[in-house]
Structure 1
Amino acid sequence: MMVGPFAWRLAAAALAPLLPFHLAWRARRGKEVPGRLGERRGLGAERPPGRLFWLHAASVGETVSALPVVEAMARRDPALRFLVTTGTATSAAMLAGRLPAALAPAVQHRFVPLDVPGWAARFLDGWRPDAGAFVESELWPNLLAAARARGIPMALVNARMSPRSAARWARAPALARAALSAFGLVLARSEGDRDRLAALGAAGARCWGDLKAAAPPLAADPAALARLREAVGTRPVFLAASTHPGEEALAVAAHRDLARDRPDLLTVLVPRHPERGPAVAEEAAAAGLAVARRRAGGAPGPDVAVYVADTIGELGLFYRLATVALVGGSLVPHGGQNPLEPARLRCPILLGPFTQNFEEAVARLLAAGGALPVPDGGALARVAADVLSSPGRARALADAAAAVADTHAGLPDAVAAALLDLLPGPGGAVEFQPCPPGLSGSTTV
């Protein structure tokens, strides 16, 4: 199907009258904040005085990886103000909880407007950013066209373009070229991403590495962690982190197999979308297991076999608590969540076969012996048992993973300097060591 910019614009405008009903439906499902639906139509601008930088990060992972860049930009230019847009309620809650106190007054959050021409124009005319950046893979053609028409310098950082997404965009080459032409700077996270972006029209794309490899460790409240450790005691903990539908059933089945030899095993399920917590708990209970839910006030006491951690922003607690962890989204065809998060916390890692969202990081972890592959759900208990039964193996996995996660420490500062160079005023060329040869893009999925 050949779709160009004009056809996309017409289609989006035609759908606009129906989109408020779609937003209301999402709000009923907990995917939007009811009192802030106007922001999705470009309303709610409160532009601060001075220079304003706009950063768009679609969801939680992109927001977490971008925060060190925002902090580095603020250190270099304390007067700069930031507008951060996201597309999910969970990312908004996470941003509010993770922003350092010193940085919070300089940052305003809004939900990104849907890609309707009039809504995009209203948003940009209200906020009037001096420059902006998109993180990873969201390309909204009308919003980007509106930014380009207003002369707003834009960058695409930690740019990601999976083979599957590249194939979809290739069916609309004019639309892809138009969207990518809005970016004067494209910094890809891997050589493979850079090549796919260049083939779609981002001719000047460069690879500086993955910001998620440079992110700080996930936060954890010390008092909450102490309470959890007291409740768990010396029990081994099998964690299934950031799971997607279908993976919880596989983790519960693995728990039943593992518990034959380890009757004191605690399995912790952290669904990627916390609103699924009640359904996840019901599924585990239907398997005959004693279940507690964190959001309902439950604790992982000695009589609990499965603990459902259906809260926002607490994954750092459970990676610190786990004896071994499955990184979710990798046992079902989702593409995997970020494996560098457990690596930074020295948690032994298990990865299913669907890891294309983090192909470079996974390739490096597996090559270094920092993670164990799980070929399918049926093998999950066997591979987890290999770690649970061998503390030495667990330490070796954790050490190797931590070494991999320690790369690209200077990347946030380098990206910050490049983004500041987009703003009006004096600046200079920014250089950074490109992706290490033989690592980035070395795995194809």
Structure 2
Amino acid sequence: MNRTLYTLLFHLGLPILAIRLWLRARKAPAYARRIRERFGFGLPPMQQGGIWVHAVSVGESIAAAPMIRELLKRYPQQAITVTCMTPTGSERILALFAHEPRIQHCYLPYDLPWASARFLDHLQPRLAVIMETELWPNHIHQCARRGIPVALANGRLSQRSARGYARFAGLTRPMLAELSLLAIQTEAEAERFRQLGARPECVQVTGSIKFDLTIDPALVARAGALRSQWQAGSRPIWIAASTHEGEDEVILNAHRQLLATHSDALLILVPRHPERFNSVFSLCAQQGFATARRSLEQPVDAQVSVLLGDTMGELLFLYALADITFVGGSLVANGGHNLLEPAALAKPVLSGPHLFNFLEIAAMLRSAGALQEVDDADGLATAVQRLIELPRDAAKMGTAGVAVMKANQGALERLLAGLARLV
């Protein structure tokens, strides 16, 4: 497949795209809003000539935030435009930069040549920065036609994804060759990009900027104050975060087993996607768990056994509330989520076996003794119980995680140095 055929198929698929938007809007009404932006129409007024950063959704927006803040400091005359593809990503961007007048925001239009051209002509950026692996052939080509350098920041590419890209070499190879900088997390991933067609002189191993996460002491203090308010200073609290469909039942099963030996244990359950908040709450109720909703600020007393984390932008704070953490998207074949956030808080980290999106990071944490993988509800319950009953082991895992974080910091500075050469 080449870009011409890809573009033709994209146009033919627009009715399917419309149906998909409609179906998503039934669960999350925000998908029905700002649809014109997705085609490059109705874009808000914007200062031209700045830096454009694309972060597809919530996770990438949070990962990009330290980089964006540094760009604001280093280029005080430049506006920074941050785009995404999802309503939750949009909400997070607006919340993260609510008090920064130089941040501009809209949805990134679909990867159609005319929509991309309309967007770029409206914005006229000096530099485009794409977070992780959100690669769109027409957007990248339209930038190349206008002489706009494109950088891939914090790039990652699993073997599975590389095989998928390789099947469409006629599309992938020219696209990667048009990138001016590929700042990649590991050497193994960098080599995959080179094999797929990236120019070797443009590929740089910078590490993961997620290691450069810094924890605000005020956040930890606020979490401690809330635990005191709950009168839960010594109550065992564990969190299952970023869960996907098919995982919640397993986690609730594990929690039920845990309650047999630690009847006062509290589970903080945080679904990955907000459209699942209500269904997961119903699941908790159906299974007989006394459940409070974080969004309603309901009291968490001794009778509550599950707190549903149904808010956006609070995950780090919810991790800080817990003694033991489980990172979801890993009991099902989703590839896992960011293991470094709980590690940065010195929490012991548990996950399922499906971590193909974070193989190198998982290997580092596992090797250091900061990560334990489990396969099912029995294994999860056993692991959580052990860490409750052996707090020294839990503390040792937490300390090991912080050590891994500190040993791998510096990626953000290396990335910013690479971007400085392109601005």
Both structures adopt the same fold (TM-score exceeding 0.5): yes
Question: Conserved in 2, the CA contact under 8 Å of 1:70 and 1:416?
Answer: no
Tell me the equivalent position of 1:369: 369
- Does residue 203 of structure 1 match 2:202? no
Structure ranking higher in helix proportion? 2
Shift, 1:246, TM fit:
1.4
- Does residue 130 of structure 1 match 2:126? yes
Amino acid of the structure 2 residue aligned with 1:264:
D
CA distance in 1, matches of 2:221, 2:29: 29
CA distance in 2, matches of 1:223, 1:340: 20
Shift, 1:157, TM fit:
1.3
Question: Conserved in 1, the CA contact under 8 Å of 2:209 and 2:409?
Answer: no
Tell me the equivalent position of 2:241: 241
Tell me the equivalent position of 1:34: 32
Shift, 1:19, TM fit:
3.5
CA, structure 1 residues 13+245, in 2 after alignment: closer, same or farther (shift >3 Å)? Answer: same
Question: Conserved in 1, the CA contact under 8 Å of 2:80 and 2:103?
Answer: yes
Identity of aligned residues (%): 36
Question: Conserved in 2, the CA contact under 8 Å of 1:136 and 1:156?
Answer: yes
Tell me the equivalent position of 1:430: none
**What is the SS of the residue equivalent to 1:255?**
helix
CA distance in 2, matches of 1:99, 1:396: 36
Tell me the equivalent position of 1:264: 264
Q: What does the per-residue CA deviation read over 1:242-267, in whole Å, with 9 as the maximum and x for residues that have no partner?
A: 11111111111111111111010111
Question: Conserved in 1, the CA contact under 8 Å of 2:48 and 2:124?
Answer: no
Shift, 1:422, TM fit:
1.3
**What is the SS of the residue equivalent to 1:300?**
coil
Structure 2: tracts of 5 or more residues without a match: none
Amino acid of the structure 2 residue aligned with 1:360:
E
Shift, 1:76, TM fit:
1.6
- Between 1:199-208 and 1:403-412, the stretch displaced more is 403-412
Shift, 1:49, TM fit:
4.0
Shift, 1:161, TM fit:
1.1
Question: Conserved in 1, the CA contact under 8 Å of 2:56 and 2:85?
Answer: yes
**What is the SS of the residue equivalent to 1:11?**
helix
Tell me the equivalent position of 1:8: 6
- Does residue 54 of structure 1 match 2:56? no
CA distance in 2, matches of 1:161, 1:363: 16
CA, structure 1 residues 407+214, in 2 after alignment: closer, same or farther (shift >3 Å)? Answer: farther
Taking structure 1 as the reference length, what is the TM-score of the superposition? 0.89
Tell me the equivalent position of 1:320: 320
Tell me the equivalent position of 2:76: 78
Task: Choose which of 76, 92, 102 in structure 1 pairs with 2:90.
Answer: 92
- Between 1:207-216 and 1:256-265, the stretch displaced more is 207-216
Please give the residue correspondences for 1:244-255 in structure 2 after superposition, counting only pairs within 5 Å. Answer: 244-255=244-255
Question: Conserved in 1, the CA contact under 8 Å of 2:48 and 2:122?
Answer: no
Amino acid of the structure 2 residue aligned with 1:141:
P
Q: What does the per-residue CA deviation read over 1:198-257, in whole Å, with 9 as the maximum and x for residues that have no partner?
A: 111113222110111112338849657633541151311121011111111111111111
Structure 1: tracts of 5 or more residues without a match: 424-445
Amino acid of the structure 2 residue aligned with 1:334:
N
Shift, 1:297, TM fit:
3.9
- Between 1:40-49 and 1:76-85, the stretch displaced more is 40-49
CA distance in 2, matches of 1:24, 1:288: 34
CA distance in 1, matches of 2:360, 2:384: 23
Tell me the equivalent position of 1:352: 352
CA distance in 2, matches of 1:178, 1:78: 34
- Does residue 64 of structure 1 match 2:65? no
CA, structure 1 residues 273+8, in 2 after alignment: closer, same or farther (shift >3 Å)? Answer: same
Please give the residue correspondences for 1:36-435 in structure 2 after superposition, counting only pairs within 5 Å. Answer: 36-46=34-44, 48-49=46-47, 51-99=49-97, 101=99, 104-204=100-200, 205-217=203-215, 220=219, 226-231=225-230, 233=232, 234-423=234-423
Question: Conserved in 1, the CA contact under 8 Å of 2:220 and 2:320?
Answer: no
**What is the SS of the residue equivalent to 1:133?**
strand
Give the superposed CA RMSD.
2.0
Question: Conserved in 1, the CA contact under 8 Å of 2:49 and 2:123?
Answer: no
- Between 1:110-119 and 1:32-41, the stretch displaced more is 32-41
Amino acid of the structure 2 residue aligned with 1:105:
P
Q: Relative CO higher for 1 or 2, CA cutoff 8 Å, sep ≥ 6?
A: 1
Tell me the equivalent position of 1:436: none
- Between 1:226-235 and 1:373-382, the stretch displaced more is 226-235
Question: Conserved in 2, the CA contact under 8 Å of 1:58 and 1:88?
Answer: yes
CA distance in 2, matches of 1:121, 1:225: 50
CA, structure 1 residues 37+282, in 2 after alignment: closer, same or farther (shift >3 Å)? Answer: same
**What is the SS of the residue equivalent to 2:238?**
strand
Question: Conserved in 2, the CA contact under 8 Å of 1:13 and 1:117?
Answer: no
Shift, 1:283, TM fit:
1.2
Question: Conserved in 1, the CA contact under 8 Å of 2:49 and 2:124?
Answer: no
Q: What does the per-residue CA deviation read over 1:131-166, in whole Å, with 9 as the maximum and x for residues that have no partner?
A: 111111111112212111222111111111111111
CA distance in 2, matches of 1:37, 1:239: 36
**What is the SS of the residue equivalent to 1:356?**
coil
CA distance in 1, matches of 2:265, 2:115: 52
Question: Conserved in 1, the CA contact under 8 Å of 2:46 and 2:104?
Answer: no
Shift, 1:271, TM fit:
0.5
Shift, 1:75, TM fit:
1.6
CA distance in 1, matches of 2:47, 2:381: 57
CA distance in 1, matches of 2:321, 2:223: 11
Amino acid of the structure 1 residue aligned with 2:309:
A
**What is the SS of the residue equivalent to 2:289?**
coil
CA distance in 1, matches of 2:47, 2:409: 33
CA distance in 2, matches of 1:243, 1:220: 23
- Between 1:228-237 and 1:253-262, the stretch displaced more is 228-237
Question: Conserved in 2, the CA contact under 8 Å of 1:213 and 1:405?
Answer: yes
CA, structure 1 residues 43+408, in 2 after alignment: closer, same or farther (shift >3 Å)? Answer: farther
Taking structure 2 as the reference length, what is the TM-score of the superposition? 0.93
